[in-house]
């Protein structure tokens, strides 16, 4: 080949401007769904507020967070953070401590006195919320942001529901709980305490309300049939925790048994220890691997000296003697009796076998239907069979947690708003979720999660001081920076620096990039190195459409 032919082959204009039909695919900047956002029951845009916290813009991070969840100081403490269970960072070292940063922002907001910034939509209506727990408070908060006037009727002496009466102060300090609730009141929500609603329709008419959201929670302990010759030392866990919270004297004796294996059972046992009992023991018909409680709850209970009697089922109580049957797990993982019995000694027994909701007062309303367990059936818009009456939280068929209840309140508020305005609320369709195998972490470094300080064990049992401590500002920034920004461009310049054709144009800080397709050859180098998988290679025919 002579030099003239070689020059012709190297001429960039030989085939005309750009690549034309030679390119079979092209890169496209995309926005995918991070797994943390997808896993959050409250629907938080976690990635967005972590990015703002990382930049040190804490108030903007808090404002972004409370667009979806009004109680970061609460959820940063009591949420079981399924977002972290889904975090892709766990494949590198440890998941991002999302709850710790959320708590940092929530506590900082209270310290600084920040107020929610929003523009209510005109033309709002009046909405009655029955129940001042997390679901009712969340609905009231979001309805207020949407421009409506809201009144909460709470049967108890304080708002907060089971956060207040079911979660001990060593996990949820009361001052922070009350301040988060007070912010909702300062937005204009009226809360009527010690006010039980038995006739929803009459209350709706008398108050001139246009819609009702019912969220009465699950405050009634389930009943079980245990033969007992002397039941004076028996009580249910919900009543026990409420009595302790209200400062009432509860006689437990030296030894107390707690029947159940859920989080409430763990709390009841740990509270009993703080009440001065010498021995608190859990009796549970399954083993630890199949317990309902979260792993860390059992770990902390063991640390505090709680004893566990796994695979034991109570058969009879005779004074201070509890007869239990030894169980074994079948091939299906379910416990089955063995015919072998043991005797345990305890001065009192606390039953923690689950909670039910008191929804009987809704039975007189035409159209409302119930499941066999008393929960209320709702449609996709959280509306019951009665027009204009919505329901959420623990009283509808669902998993039960503070965060799920809070998410129900937000969802219901958006549907109630649309219904009152004669519209239909349709949530935005979710983008595809980015999994760990989609990432190209060329900058991977080992940066383990910050450990939250804990109250020393020797100081725990003397009172209800909070066990888990918050993190400092520098740790909050560090944790936020550990976020991999899965699925969404964070302007690392990797694509810009890797493109051999200079086909990527920087649009300035915060504006990301765009492609000059007249230069792009479709080689895919940019997509192959994108650490967060914010670039997708699509067929040229699909791009043309």
Residue 222's pLDDT is 85
Mean pLDDT of 465-473: 97
Mean pLDDT of 528-533: 95
- The pLDDT tens digits for 297-315 are 999 999 999 999 999 999 9
DSSP string, 248-297: ------SEEEEE--SHHHHHHHHHHHHTT-SEEEEE-SS-GGG-SS-HHH
Residue 221's pLDDT is 82
Is residue 14 scored above 50 in pLDDT? Answer: no
Instruction: State the pTM of this model.
Output: 0.92
Residue 229's pLDDT is 66
Residue 22's pLDDT is 76
pLDDT class of 224 with cuts at 50, 70, 90: confident
Mean pLDDT of 279-308: 94
pLDDT class of 76 with cuts at 50, 70, 90: very high
- The pLDDT tens digits for 246-259 are 989 899 999 999 99
For residues 439 and 425, what is the distance between their CA atoms, to the nearest angstrom?
34
Give me the residues paired with residue 450 across strands. none
- The pLDDT tens digits for 20-49 are 457 889 999 999 999 999 999 999 999 999
Residue 332's pLDDT is 86
Within 13 Å of residue 350, how many CA atoms lie on the same side as its CB? Answer: 31
For residues 109 and 339, what is the distance between their CA atoms, to the nearest angstrom?
58
Residue 544's pLDDT is 55
Domains of the chain (ranges, CATH numbers): 18-32+489-544 (3.30.70.20), 126-169+189-220+356-420 (3.50.50.60), 222-354 (3.50.50.60)
- The pLDDT tens digits for 159-195 are 999 999 999 999 999 999 999 999 999 999 999 999 9
DSSP string, 98-145: HHHHHHHHHHHHHHHT------PPSS--EEEEE--SHHHHHHHHHHHH
Is residue 461 scored above 50 in pLDDT? Answer: yes
- The pLDDT tens digits for 120-162 are 999 999 999 999 999 999 999 999 999 999 999 999 999 999 9
Residue 55's pLDDT is 95
Is residue 211 scored above 80 in pLDDT? Answer: yes
Judge contact between 340 and 312, C-beta under 8 A.
no
pLDDT class of 540 with cuts at 50, 70, 90: confident
Residue 240's pLDDT is 95
Parallel, antiparallel, or unpaired: how do β-strands 126-130 and 149-153 relate?
A: parallel
Exposed/middle/buried for residue 340 (C-beta within 10 Å: 0-12, 13-18, 19+): exposed
Residue 269's pLDDT is 97
Judge contact between 148 and 125, C-beta under 8 A.
yes
Residue 354's pLDDT is 87
Residue 473's pLDDT is 98
Among the ranges given (34-38, 205-209, 382-386, 396-400), the one the predictor scored with the smallest mean pLDDT = 396-400
- The pLDDT tens digits for 407-450 are 999 999 999 999 999 999 999 899 999 999 999 988 767 899 99
Judge contact between 98 and 83, C-beta under 8 A.
yes
Nearest to 387, CA basis, from 411, 365, 361: 365
Is residue 12 scored above 70 in pLDDT? Answer: no
Tokens read off for 494: 């990797």
CA distances from 174 to 57, 195, 227 (A): 28, 22, 38
Q: What is the chain's mean pLDDT, rounded?
A: 92
Residue 545's pLDDT is 52
Give residue 399's Cα distance to chain centre.
Answer: 11
Would you state the torsion angle of the CA atoms of residues 389, 393, 394, 397, taken in this order, to the nearest 10 degrees?
Answer: 70
Is residue 7 scored above 70 in pLDDT? Answer: no
Residue 102's pLDDT is 98
């Amino acid at each position: 080949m002579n030099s003239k032919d070689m020059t012709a082959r190297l001429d960039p204009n030989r085939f005309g401007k750009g690549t034309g039909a030679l390119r079979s695919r092209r890169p496209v900047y995309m926005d995918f769904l991070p797994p943390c956002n997808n896993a959050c029951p409250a629907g938080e845009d976690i990635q967005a507020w972590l990015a703002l916290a990382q930049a040190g813009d804490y108030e903007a991070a808090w404002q972004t967070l409370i667009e979806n969840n009004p109680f970061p100081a609460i959820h940063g403490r009591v949420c079981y953070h399924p977002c972290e269970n889904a975090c892709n960072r766990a494949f590198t070292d440890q998941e991002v401590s999302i709850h710790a940063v959320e708590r940092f922002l929530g506590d900082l907001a209270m310290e600084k006195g920040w107020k929610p910034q929003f523009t209510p939509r005109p033309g709002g209506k009046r909405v009655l919320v029955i129940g001042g727990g997390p679901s009712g408070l969340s609905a009231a908060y979001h309805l207020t942001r949407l421009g409506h006037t809201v009144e909460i009727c709470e049967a108890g002496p304080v708002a907060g529901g089971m956060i207040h009466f079911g979660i001990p102060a060593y996990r949820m300090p009361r001052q922070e709980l009350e301040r988060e609730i007070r912010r909702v009141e300062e937005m204009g929500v009226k809360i009527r305490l010690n006010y039980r609603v038995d006739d929803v329709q009459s209350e709706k008419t008398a108050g001139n309300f246009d819609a009702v959201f019912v969220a009465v929670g699950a405050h009634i302990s389930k009943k079980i049939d245990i033969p007992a010759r002397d039941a004076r030392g028996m009580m249910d866990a919900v009543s026990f925790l409420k009595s302790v919270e209200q400062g009432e004297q509860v006689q437990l004796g030296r030894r107390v048994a707690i029947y159940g294996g859920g989080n409430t059972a763990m709390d009841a046992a740990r509270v009993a220890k703080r009440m001065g009992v010498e021995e608190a023991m859990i009796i549970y018909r399954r083993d630890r691997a199949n317990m309902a409680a979260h792993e860390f709850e059992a770990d902390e209970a063991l640390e505090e000296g709680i004893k566990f009697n796994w695979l034991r089922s109570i058969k009879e109580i005779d004074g201070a003697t509890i007869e239990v049957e030894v169980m074994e797990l079948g091939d299906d993982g379910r416990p089955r009796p063995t015919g072998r019995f043991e005797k345990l000694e305890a001065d009192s027994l606390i039953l923690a076998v689950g909670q039910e909701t008191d929804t009987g007062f809704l039975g007189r309303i035409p159209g409302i239907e119930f499941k066999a367990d008393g929960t209320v059936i709702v449609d996709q818009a959280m509306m019951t069979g009665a027009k204009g009456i919505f329901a959420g939280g623990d009283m509808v068929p669902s998993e039960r947690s503070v965060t799920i209840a809070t998410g129900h309140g937000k969802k219901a508020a958006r549907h109630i708003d649309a219904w009152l305005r004669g519209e239909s609320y349709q949530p935005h369709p979710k983008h595809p979720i980015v999994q760990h195998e989609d990432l190209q972490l060329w900058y991977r470094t080992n940066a383990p999660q910050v450990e939250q300080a804990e109250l020393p064990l020797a100081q725990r049992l003397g009172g209800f001081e909070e066990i888990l401590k918050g993190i400092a500002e520098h740790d909050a920034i560090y944790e936020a920076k550990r976020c991999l920004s899965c699925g969404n461009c964070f302007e690392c310049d990797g694509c810009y620096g890797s493109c051999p054709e200079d086909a990527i144009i920087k649009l300035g800080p915060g504006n990301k990039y765009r492609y000059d397709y007249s230069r792009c050859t479709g080689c895919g180098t940019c997509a192959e190195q994108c650490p967060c998988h914010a670039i997708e290679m699509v067929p040229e025919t699909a791009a043309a459409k």
